[in-house]
């Protein structure tokens, strides 16, 4: 059974609503969004608008910009321009735990222009990852040394995987997959 979704979203729609849409079962969705939002969906590494929304959407779906729609095509005309995009979920979906993936990407894109080494030095990030690490070790009967330092462990993973000086704005899906695998292999989890 083919299911097609064609929908014009409200201009105040937030990114979280669109990502939820990808969980639905459909073959193809043709959606109209505010231009800047649409361009975030299709942005590539290095683009000014490349963000967490871009990489998460592109992880789960193929996204294409179909056309621009001027504000004068509506009555009354809105204050913003629109664009139409096509979203086709990847089938099969990528073999990744999305909660883990999104946890990593969320940290990396908080300040997408910072190096990953700097992004992971936040006290809140270190606290979360240390808690998750200790839970992982407890579940797998691994003893945590008394002098354990999560910041040293994180820096070690980033350096060994050669990501310490990279920035989220220039990393693609494959880069994040490699980084997630490196963290998970070291027992560091994001969910």
- The annotation status of 1 as a binding-site residue, yes or no, is yes
Across the chain, which has 191 residues, the per-10-residue mean pLDDT values are 55 46 71 95 97 96 95 88 94 93 96 94 95 94 92 96 96 98 96 89
The pLDDT value given to residue 151: 95
The pLDDT value given to residue 13: 43
Do the beta carbons of residue 189 and residue 100 sit within 8 Å? yes
The pLDDT value given to residue 86: 95
- Pick one of 1.10.8.480, 3.40.1360.10, 1.10.486.10, 1.10.3720.10 as the CATH number of 98-185: 1.10.8.480
The pLDDT value given to residue 132: 95
Per-residue tokens: 108: 């990396």
For the chain, helix, strand, coil in percent to 5 are: 45, 15, 40
Spatial separation of the C-alpha atoms in residues 40 and 56, rounded to whole Å: 11
The pLDDT value given to residue 27: 84
Q: Which of 1, 174, 153, 26 is nearest to 87 (CA)?
A: 26
Report residue 161 CA to chain centroid gap.
19
Do the beta carbons of residue 88 and residue 27 sit within 8 Å? yes
Q: What is the pTM of this model?
A: 0.84
Domain boundaries, the chain: 4-89, 98-185
Sign of CA dihedral 135, 140, 146, 152: negative
Alpha-helical segments (H) within the chain: 15-22, 35-42, 52-60, 98-109, 116-119, 123-139, 150-160, 173-185
The pLDDT value given to residue 150: 95
The pLDDT value given to residue 43: 97
- Looking at domain 4-89, its CATH architecture is 3-Layer(aba) Sandwich (3.40)
The pLDDT value given to residue 69: 92
The pLDDT value given to residue 24: 55
Q: Which residue has the tokens 């669109």?
A: 18
Helix (H) or strand (E) holding 45: none
Spatial separation of the C-alpha atoms in residues 186 and 165, rounded to whole Å: 19
Q: How far is CA 6 from CA 64, 74, 84, 139, 169, in A?
A: 14, 18, 10, 46, 31
């Amino acid at each position: 059974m083919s299911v097609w979704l064609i929908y014009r979203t409200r201009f105040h729609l937030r990114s979280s609503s669109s990502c939820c849409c990808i969980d639905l079962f459909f073959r193809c969705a043709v959606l109209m969004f505010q231009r800047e939002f649409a361009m975030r969906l299709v942005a590539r590494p290095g683009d000014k608008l490349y963000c967490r929304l871009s990489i998460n959407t592109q992880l789960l779906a193929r996204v294409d910009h179909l056309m621009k729609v001027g504000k004068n095509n509506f009555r009354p005309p809105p204050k913003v321009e629109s664009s139409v995009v096509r979203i086709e979920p990847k089938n099969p979906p990528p073999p990744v735990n999305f909660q883990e993936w999104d946890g990593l990407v969320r940290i990396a894109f908080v300040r997408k222009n910072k190096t990953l080494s700097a992004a992971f030095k936040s006290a809140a990030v270190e606290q979360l990852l240390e808690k998750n690490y200790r839970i992982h070790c407890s579940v797998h009967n691994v003893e945590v040394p008394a002098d354990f330092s999560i910041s040293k462990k994180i820096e070690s993973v980033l350096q060994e995987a050669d990501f310490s000086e990279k920035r989220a704005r220039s990393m693609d899906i494959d880069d994040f997959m490699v980084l997630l695998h490196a963290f998970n292999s070291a027992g560091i989890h994001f969910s």
